[in-house]
Amino acid sequence: RKKCLLCNNVLMIVAASIMGCSKISKSFEMILVGRFMCGVSLCVPLHHQYVGEISPKKLRGFANSTSSFFWTLGKAIGQITGQRELLGSQTLWPVLMASCGLPALVQLITLPFFPESPPYLLMHKGDQEGCKKAIRQLWGEGQHQAEIDDIMKEKATMKNTKILSVLELVKEPSFRWQLYMIVILTATIQLCGINAV
């Protein structure tokens, strides 16, 4: 999880650099490439997964809601700083385009000091000691055996569950309507008015 987030941050910094240099290079194609790279990045789902897994159970819902909050806050800050009086001017718009690299840079610098996700360490790596160490680092000293037992139960449940590939998921008739709904909701989210709010 952590390595994937770090790689994603590198991708965002590269995208921000490409967009920031587009005016100097006199290339609008660089903006298109940079925006495409930002769209390909996995920021939102990775944030949800990592933050949800490193949070104690009682704070998990709150921690997962931070993604939506900061996503909306980022949009609001982008719209405010995009005004002509701030960074939306003829000379400063490349700085505005490159500003998406700033949060990625902050996360790239700070994330190595955070431990790997405890469920990932235990379920995928089989590293029980690493899991305990990560839990102590994240949640402090104390009895965390109940959380470890919950992760072990989840691991036992996952053993009996067949994980589908993307192609198998698309072909599976029992998931078809759920898949249609997710695609429609995701495709039309920009039409719901969240940007106006």
Q: What is the pLDDT of residue 55?
A: 81
The residue count for the chain: 197
Q: Where are the domains of the chain?
A: 1-114, 162-196
- CA 151 to CA 47: how far, in whole Å? 20
pTM of the model: 0.70
Q: What is the pLDDT of residue 197?
A: 53
Sign of the dihedral defined by the CA atoms of residues 21, 41, 108, 190, in that order: positive
- CA 179 to CA 185: how far, in whole Å? 10
Half-sphere exposure in the Cβ direction for 150 (13 Å, CA): 9
In the block, residue with structure tokens 């309507």:
177
Which DSSP category does 101 fall into? Answer: H
For residue 66, count other CB atoms closer than 10 A to its CB: 14
Q: What is the pLDDT of residue 196?
A: 57
- CA 195 to CA 161: how far, in whole Å? 39
Q: What is the pLDDT of residue 27?
A: 87
Q: What is the pLDDT of residue 190?
A: 67
For the chain, 197 residues long, the average pLDDT of each consecutive 10-residue run is 85 92 89 86 74 80 78 84 87 88 90 86 81 82 76 74 79 86 79 62
Q: Which two tokens stand for residue 8?
A: 């994603």
Nearest alpha-carbon partner for 107 in 4, 1, 3, 6: 6
